[in-house]
Each structure stands twice: as C-alpha cells, then as structure tokens.
Amino acid sequence: MANRTDDDLFRALNQPRPWSGFNAFHSDPLLGDLTRSMSGPVREELDSLGRYVTSPEAQELAQMANTILPQLKTHGPAGERLDTVIFHPAWHALMRRSVASGLSSSLWETPRDADSKSKAHKLRAVRLFLSAQLECGHLESLSATSASLAVLSAAPQLRAEWAPKLLSRKYDSTNRTEAQKSGVTIGLAVTEKQAGSDMRAVQSHAERVGEGIYRLSGHKWFVSAPMSDAFVMLAEVDGARGCFLVPRLLDEGHANGLRFQRLKDKLGLRSNATAEMEFSDSFGFLLGAPDAGVRTIVDMLTLMRLDAAVMSAGLMRASLAEAVHAARGREVQGRALVTQPLMLRVLADLALDVAAAGALVFRLAESFDRARDSTEEAAYARIMTPVAKYWCTKIAPGVIAEAMEAMGGNGFVEDRPIARHYRDAPGLALTDGGGNAMALDLRRVVEHGGELFDAVFRGIARDLGSSGAKIVELLKAAMALSRSDESAARIFTEQLALAAGAAELYRLGAGRIADAFLETRLAAGWRSTYGMLDTRFDASYIVDLLFPDMD
C-alpha cells in the first residue's frame, strides 16, 4: 500500500478491460473459414455485425432490455380489456436491427445473390450465431417468425396474404392489424398446463365455422413474444389435433379474444415476455389437414431447434471469448492468469467443446441448404437436428459456468454479459423440446427410418479418417442399444454428437483440434468437468488458435 498513489485507488488495477469493442466475426477463425468462399459484400456485412454485437452501445441495449422488463397491461383506464405488453425501447431497437438484417425472413426471400441462394441457411446461421452473442431473448421471437413460414406453406392462400409483411424486413411494433402494419412477427402457442412435450394431449378446442375457418377456445401456458401479430397454435378438432394461424387482432383492430393472464417470471431470456393466455371464440385459420396438426407444426419446430442449437453455440463462444480475454488481462502470482498451467488447461478443454459445437451447427445448417438436392444431406438434417439441439443446448450451461468461474467473482456479476448468458442458456434447452424429447426424437428415426443412418455414418467415417471405422462401430452399438432400450437414447444421442462434431472439425481442416476433441471425448474414460486435457495436446496452441488475442 505504501507505494500506491491516490490515482491508483481510483483506477481499477489488474482488472482486464471489458470484453467490448472487439469484433466477434473477425476474431473467430471458424467463421473466417466458413465464410471464406462467400462474396465480399456478404463478408463485409458479417464483419459489421461482428463489430456491432460487441459494441458498448449494443451491449447497453441488451442489458437494458433484460433489466427493465416487459410489463403486462390487461386493462385500460375505463376498465376495457387491452391485453398488451409494453416493452422497453431497447427491446424494440434490438428487434428493429435484427429484423432488418433478415433473421426473420432471409430463408424465404427471393435470393439477393449467389450466397443467399445456395447458402441461405448457413449464412443465416452465421448471423444468428453472432447475434446470439449479444442477446437471445429477442431472437426467440425472430426464430419463431422465420420458422412459421414453413407451416404457412401448408395454406398457400394464407401464406400469400401474410408473406409480404413477414418478408418486409421492417419491424413495426404498433398495435395494429396485419393489414395496417409494415412488418409482422409470429409466435408459437402449443404448450398447455397439462401438455407440453406431449402435443397430442393439447385440449384447446377448435370448431369449424367455414372453409378453413375455425373458432377456438382454451388456454396456453407459455406464449413467448405475446405481442406477435399471430400465433401458430395447436388445438383439438374432432378428436384429432389441428394446426391454426390465430391472429392477435382482427380487421378494424378488434381483439380476437386472446386474453393475457400473467407474464412468467423467468430465470432467463427475460427481455422477451412469456404470457399465460386464455381465449374463447377466437378465430383461427387451418394450416394443413385438420387431423395433421402435429405433423404440420413439426416443420416449424425443426427450424426452431436448429436455431436453438446455433444460439447455444453462439452463447458458448461469447462466454469463452470473454473468459479468455479476462484471463489474458489478469495477473495472479506474478503472471498472466492465462499462462497459469491449470487455467490454460481448463480454457483449452472448454475451447474444444466450443469449437465442436460451432462446427456441428454450421454443418447442420449446410445440410438444410443441400437437403432438397441430396438424400444424404436430407438424412443428415433429419438425424442431426435433435442431436445438435440436444448436445449444444445441454453443454452450454456447464461451459458458461466454467467460463464464468475463470473470470472470478466478476463473472458472477450482472455488469458483464456472461451472467446473463448463463441464465439464458437453460431456456434454450427447454424450449421446443427438452433433452429427453430430442433423444426420443432421434430414437424415432432409429425405429422408423434406420436406413437414413447409413449415409450419415458413411460421412462420419470418411471424415474421421483412420479412426472412422472403429467409431462408427461404437455408434452402431449405441444405436442398437437405444433401439432395444429406450432409456439408453441419450447415450446414442451424445455419442453421435461427439462423433459428428469431431468429423466436422477434421473436414474443416482443424486436425490438431479434432484430434484433441476426439481423444478426450470419445476415446478417453468418463469425465464430467473441464481441465482433463492430456498433456500430449498443446493447450496454449488450442487457446491461441481458437481465441486469438485481439488487444
């Protein structure tokens, strides 16, 4: 203390500068590789998004939207029903920018250039991955909106009516009807008190009143983004389940009988309201056959599961980038924390999962782009969607918790985004099908489409090289086990994720990273925490390659 000056007391000594003002695109070598063949203007746009998401201005918006929370207004001053939710302007600012960047529309637009034609999913996944590093609550709304266009295709006339506003890239938060607005969003309303994963237990009731028009009554227990302009809803109709588009307001601005009861007080994803809703005599428009609701809505859920995996990978990348940066800027016992052998080993071990998750989700997005022209890619998309959703969303909370710990007490404080990332991560696992639901979905493919695995296993074996044949044998054994024993479904799901993640790292040319990932995840014994990397793998090389020092 004797040598310290007053100045020192007011300055924060030995504190890394905030993880802010960097470039999340430019500093990520995986994104560099994945986008190398994309056009100059596309790369420039991604570079600008990468700068934006770590800018102090954007981070302040994200923090405000998550601390000044949405408010429910059920009634107006004269006692009239309003059923609206007021969001902070920061939420609207985040939405405006993300809608303009095409996150809710780009998959369905007339392609603007060669990249958006052949790589629409991959390009959007990169944008989503970067945007998730800023704020995930608002992305839930855009994910549902984008995915809703898949089910609107089941009713071409409705699609023609709604598509122009869905694809306008304009965010319009006014409380008016679709016809009066310049842009619209769509939410998902499936879950009821007695029915979540089990969609066939939905009890809300629909009654036919005209060609494709139904009157709906019932309740929904979780409805995120309740100010969406319409909801894709499941309801019972003549003993089966139908899928409907239910507008929030009808022509002339009349309410459509959707009453918001309460907003959930959620652990995370707090910027986005999630309402409990009751409705009676609400009009809905049928999407698909009246008895094929579950089959129809699965197309929407599939796209949302891909998004949840991408967002989780983005959250992990942002969290570890922040932790590595903090460890570089902090000295302990006379040297930078990042050079302390044990910390370096922990960070490198985490970096392997973050790299594999990134590789896996972009490979999955690519398979969606190619599925129409290739049965092998269609098989990959079908099989790997539940697998990637399972693995990425499930490891994210653990990865982020360890990254927080690497930052010491600072990681646990809401001043920095990592604490929010930690609270948001489990929500991504829960929505649109939790871990068991994903493992059971994979098992359904094992039972009813086992032949789809041939192409996927062939690709994995090829990319894994010399160890490919042995690992595919292991996968086949795990698959057989999951077929005979439902309770083993997670074992197969996890092993497939690890094998496919390693395969993709090899395919991308990240051989040394892939070796380390494969050896420590599939070849080694049981482990449940980080820092287990073998000394044969150069921890410093892994951290510096995957998280280059941008200071």
Ligand X SMILES: Cc1cc2nc3c(=O)[nH]c(=O)nc-3n(C[C@H](O)[C@H](O)[C@H](O)COP(=O)(O)OP(=O)(O)OC[C@H]3O[C@@H](n4cnc5c(N)ncnc54)[C@H](O)[C@@H]3O)c2cc1C
CB of 233: closest distance to ligand X in angstroms?
8
Region at 288 (left for phi over 0; alpha for psi -120 to 50; beta for the rest): left
Of the residues 173, 374, 410, 436, which one makes contact with ligand X according to CB under 6 A: 436
Q: Is 261 in the site for ligand X (CB under 6 A)?
A: no
Using rule CB under 6 A, residue 430 touches ligand X: yes
Give the contact letters, 134-173, x = binds to ligand X (CB under 6 A), - = no: ----------------------------------------
- Is the Cβ of residue 120 or residue 223 nearer to ligand X in the bound state? 223
Instruction: Give the span between the Cα atoms of 343 and 541, in whole angstroms.
Output: 14
* Shortest distance in whole angstroms from residue 142 CB to ligand X: 13
CA–CA separation, 61 vs 98, rounded Å?
13
Q: State the Cα–Cα distance between residues 54 and 27, nearest whole angstrom.
A: 11
If the CB atoms of residues 241 and 521 are measured against ligand X, the closer one turns out to be 241
Counting beta carbons within 10 angstroms of the beta carbon of residue 352, is it exposed (0 to 12), middle (13 to 18) or buried (19 or more)?
A: buried
Dihedral of CA 189/268/364/441: which sign? negative
Indicate whether 393 belongs to the interface with ligand X (CB under 6 A).
no
- Residue 537 · residue 391 · CB < 8 Å: no
- Nearest residue (CB) to ligand X, 277 versus 399: 277
In terms of phi and psi (left: phi > 0; alpha: psi -120 to 50; beta: otherwise), the region of 260 is beta
Q: Are 548 and 29 in contact (CB under 8 A)?
A: yes
Rounded to a whole number of angstroms, the minimum distance from the CB of residue 49 to ligand X is: 25
Candidates 183-191, 323-331, 465-473, 496-504; binding stretch for ligand X (CB under 6 A)? 183-191
Type of residue numbered 430: L
**Identified binder of ligand X from the candidate list 81, 170, 266, 507, rule CB under 6 A:** 266
Dist CA 324 CA 319 (whole Å): 9
Q: Which is nearer to ligand X, 435 or 459 (CB)?
A: 435
Q: Answer yes or no whether residue 491 interacts with ligand X by CB under 6 A.
A: no
DSSP notation for 139-194: HHHHHHHHHHHHHHTTSHHHHHHHHHHHTS-----SS--GGG-S---EEEE--BTT
Name the nearest CA neighbour of 396 among 375, 369, 427, 372.
427
Kindly tell me which of 100 and 440 has the beta carbon lying closer to ligand X: 440
Among 190, 301, 357, 514, binds ligand X (CB under 6 A): 190
Q: Is 487 in the site for ligand X (CB under 6 A)?
A: no
Q: Is 300 in the site for ligand X (CB under 6 A)?
A: no
**294 touches ligand X (CB under 6 A):** no
**Smallest distance, ligand X to C-beta of residue 221, A:** 7
Tell me whether residue 154 or residue 425 sits nearer to ligand X (CB atom). 425
> Distance (Å, rounded) from C-alpha 360 to C-alpha 504?
6
Residues 57-76 that bind ligand X (CB under 6 A): none
180 binds ligand X (CB under 6 A): no
- Number of residues counted as binding ligand X (CB under 6 A): 24
Q: Is 391 in the site for ligand X (CB under 6 A)?
A: no
| Cα dihedral 360/364/365/368 (nearest 10) | 170
Q: Which stretch binds ligand X (CB under 6 A): 196-204, 278-286, 309-317, 471-479?
A: 196-204
Are 513 and 485 in contact by the 8 Å Cβ rule? The answer is: no
Which of 223, 327, 346, 460 contacts ligand X by CB under 6 A? 223
Residues 439-458 that bind ligand X (CB under 6 A): 440
Name the residue with the smallest CB distance to ligand X.
196
Q: Which two tokens stand for residue 433?
A: 């099908």
Among 98, 105, 319, 431, binds ligand X (CB under 6 A): 431
Stretch that binds ligand X, among 211-219, 220-228, 477-485, 538-546 (CB under 6 A): 220-228
d(CA 121, CA 128): 10
Residues near ligand X (CB under 6 A) are 187-191, 196-198, 222-224, 266, 269, 274, 427, 430-437, 440
